[in-house]
Amino acid sequence: MTMLGTLKAHTYEITKPDEPLAWLGSGGFAWLTESNVIITSGTAVTVDATQAIAALRAIDGEGAIACGALPFTSSETGQLTIPSRVLRCNANLCSVTEIEGATLANSPQLAQTPRRFSVEAAQDLTAWDEAVASALAQIEDTELRKVVLAREVFVQADHAYNVAQILSTLAATQPGCFVYAAGDFVGASPELLVRRDSARVTSRPMAGTVARRASIADDNAAIETLRASMKDAAEHRYVVDAVVAALTMHCVAIEVSDPEPVPLATVTHLTTEIRGELRSAATALDLALALHPTPAVGGTPTDSALRTIAALEPFSRGSYGGPVGWVDATGDGEFAVALRCAQLEGNKARLIAGAGIVEGSDPDLEWAETQAKLEPMLRALVRP
């Protein structure tokens, strides 16, 4: 930490730029919501997630953040970046924080817009059916009550993808979501894992899903079916109970709303808002790590679900389903669950989407659910 102690941060106010994404440096972090914009460039230092708060507090001056996407699997190394420059804008203020002496990164340039694409599902329907059948057998015969199974889709374009362009598309087409980028990992998540604002803590878990319908009447009917579904209610309850149990270790005066369907661009999720008052010194990052993985992305009981995922999924999830977001030196911050995402590599992209398997799950319906969840990112990537 000695080297970190020599870092100095300077913050100054600016007029909100017309194009905030022009401030995104190559490999930078972006966080776009209806009320908050964070865009970074350059890297002052990269630290293990467990050392991020200490590193921030060793910096002379205010305004620095640690940000990024952490892996789904806790055994994988999780790191966060303290950027060289941070642009932060909300409804009232726009400011820039710069780390003295740190190097900025150039904004990524788009040489040619991709126009031709190929899309391939890595797992076919037969493999999916077999995995779901295995999960259902374990739910019947063991302590496992829910497991989230995911599948991969690969996209290849004729030219390299541009992160800023994808972010702009997602921001325009996915209202109500946390649109994010951590280097070449991009997405638009509807699910707030945790937000800490001084002593106020908020989580908004989602579980239980139905695809949107073309007509208003059909869509309303589908939403009412979701609202009345015992299967989806049970799946949702697992998540809410787990989040409340984890937050109880750090919060008092916990309030839990009734679950309500929240329509998004391609799906409607059952959603519960959970609020509490912090009674410990836990930071937003501490809370995110304590909550992850919720049954919304892992299952319940957690250990059984994770073992099942490792046995049935023929790939590593990477940052899919993990916490993505930011935290500052005071401990305030915001983390979403990394969903509706893609890992980019030049002209290639890997997408992952999952569905919660519980007693009564139908493999075909769960496959259709993953299709609906893949749709937002496919629309952003495949632009004929």
In the block, tokens 């070449």 appear at 184
Active-site residue identified among 8, 34, 76, 146: 146
Q: By the 8 A CB rule, do 45 and 55 touch? A: yes
Rounded distance, CA 7 to CA 47, Å? Answer: 14
In the annotation, is 146 catalytic? yes
262, exposed or middle or buried, with CB in 10 Å at 0-12, 13-18, 19+?
A: middle
Rounded distance, CA 225 to CA 223, Å? Answer: 5
The secondary structure element, H or E, covering residue 368 is helix 363-381
In the annotation, is 348 catalytic? no
Rounded distance, CA 290 to CA 286, Å? Answer: 6
Cα torsion 97, 100, 106, 108: sign: negative
Other CB atoms closer than 10 Å to residue 234's CB: what's the count?
A: 17
Q: By the 8 A CB rule, do 45 and 7 touch? A: yes
133-145 as b/e: b if 16+ CB within 10 A: ebbbebbeeeebb
Edge-to-edge strand list for the sheet holding 267-271: 206-211, 267-271, 260-263
Instruction: For residue 148, list its beta bridge partners.
Output: 356
Active-site residue identified among 98, 152, 191, 334: 191
In the block, tokens 């009564």 appear at 360
Phi, psi for 108 (deg, rounded to 5): -65, 135
Token couple for 90: 């909300």
Q: Please give the span between the terminal C-alpha atoms of the chain, in angstroms, as a whole number.
A: 49
DSSP state of 172: H
Catalytic residues: 146, 191
